[in-house]
Amino acid sequence: MPTSLPRTTKALVLEKLTRARPPLLYDAAVREQSIPTLEPGQVLVKIGAVSFNRRDFWMRRGLYPRIVDGSTFGSDGAGTVIAAADPADPLLAQRVFLTPMRGLESDPTGPESEFGILGGGSVPPIGTFAEYVVVPRIEVIPTPTHLTDEQIAAWPLGGLTAWRAIALAQISRGDIVLITGIGGGVAILALQICVAMGALVYVTSGNQQKIDKAVALGAKGGLLYTQGGQSQSEAPKKRDTVASGGAADSWATTSREHGELKDKLRCSARF
């Protein structure tokens, strides 16, 4: 543990451009910030790794709600607790990762009215793209010992995004789930969560390697919607796997007639 605590931190912040450079409305600038004094229930985390999300890019384009000029980027972060308001806090010197969302305390399956995501806004007014971050101790989780900071920082926001879709769809053991466009971070995490819950997962992709990886992670099968660069409409229609059924608000029915797939798909939850 350090003998003296830092008083300032460098952070990557959003700054409104005085002259817009379409499509960008905000710049990303490194700025020196004061580290606030720890209040009861807070800890100081020295950030070891962060991850970049698509929302960070959208914010630079002004395409995300409730953007605050001068706020710090970053929803995902991991590091080490180097100070706490309580000098006997058991989190001291522990590796942790930050929870990326606020507003799931009363019901983990759905957000409360005061919902927010770290980075770029006022609720909460913090971001992870900094050397040091002060956060409530209840908003950090000990990092599993088999994972590095880089590994653990890669999944929290994507994982919770996937979880919210799964909870909305009320997926449970035995349900058949179709995840389209497998390969992205949220889609892969949704696949892993659904498999762990005992759901039967099928996927689609334009890349056979992504389908093979999904099957290795537990998917029951996949549909390659392009073949040799052909569009789906040009590719052969016959498929071996036909899935029917689904879960609550997110389901797919597929039937085969004369070697062709006739699909009906309704999704209230998108990965």
* 211 shares a domain with 123: no
Per-residue model confidence as pLDDT tens digits over 4-63? 899 999 999 999 999 878 999 999 999 999 999 999 999 999 999 999 999 999 999 999
Enter the tokens of residue 254.
């597929």
* 39 shares a domain with 143: yes
* 172 shares a domain with 101: no
* 244 shares a domain with 175: yes
Per-residue pLDDT, 265: 38
Per-residue model confidence as pLDDT tens digits over 161-196? 999 999 989 999 999 999 999 989 999 999 999 999
Per-residue pLDDT, 1: 56
Q: How far is residue 48's CA from residue 95's CA, in Å, rounded to a whole number?
A: 9
Domain end marker among 114, 149, 184: 149
Residue that the structure tokens 């607790």 belong to: 81
Q: Per-residue confidence at 253, pLDDT binned at 50, 70, 90?
A: very low
* 176 shares a domain with 145: no
Residue 24 domain-assigned (yes or no):
yes
Per-residue pLDDT, 111: 78
Residue 155 domain-assigned (yes or no):
no
Q: How far is residue 110's CA from residue 168's CA, in Å, rounded to a whole number?
A: 8
Residue that the structure tokens 């942790």 belong to: 96
User: CB-based burial of residue 144 (10 Å sphere; 0-12 exposed, 13-18 middle, 19+ buried)?
Assistant: exposed
Q: Check: CB of residue 14 under 8 Å from CB of residue 24.
A: no
Per-residue model confidence as pLDDT tens digits over 116-162? 999 999 889 999 999 999 999 999 999 999 999 999 999 999 999 99
Per-residue model confidence as pLDDT tens digits over 202-229? 999 999 999 999 999 999 999 998 865 4
* 35 shares a domain with 119: yes
Cis, peptide link before residue 108, omega less than 30° from 0: no
| Mean pLDDT in residue range 77-92 | 98
Per-residue model confidence as pLDDT tens digits over 87-118? 999 999 999 999 999 988 888 887 777 889 99
User: CB-based burial of residue 256 (10 Å sphere; 0-12 exposed, 13-18 middle, 19+ buried)?
Assistant: middle
CATH of the domain at 194: 3.40.50.720
Cis, peptide link before residue 23, omega less than 30° from 0: yes
Domain end marker among 149, 183, 202: 149
* 69 shares a domain with 16: yes
pTM assigned to the model: 0.81
pLDDT above 90 (res 3): no
| Three-class DSSP category at 53 | coil
* 173 shares a domain with 92: no
Enter the tokens of residue 141.
């989780």
* 179 shares a domain with 84: no
- Which of 147 and 247 is assigned the larger pLDDT? 147
Name the domain count of the chain.
Answer: 2
Q: What is the domain range of residue 99?
A: 8-149
Residue that the structure tokens 């929290």 belong to: 156
Q: DSSP states of 20-53 as a string?
A: EETTEEEEEEEEEEEPPPPPTTEEEEEEEEEE--
Q: How far is residue 3's CA from residue 149's CA, in Å, rounded to a whole number?
A: 23
Residue 216 domain-assigned (yes or no):
yes
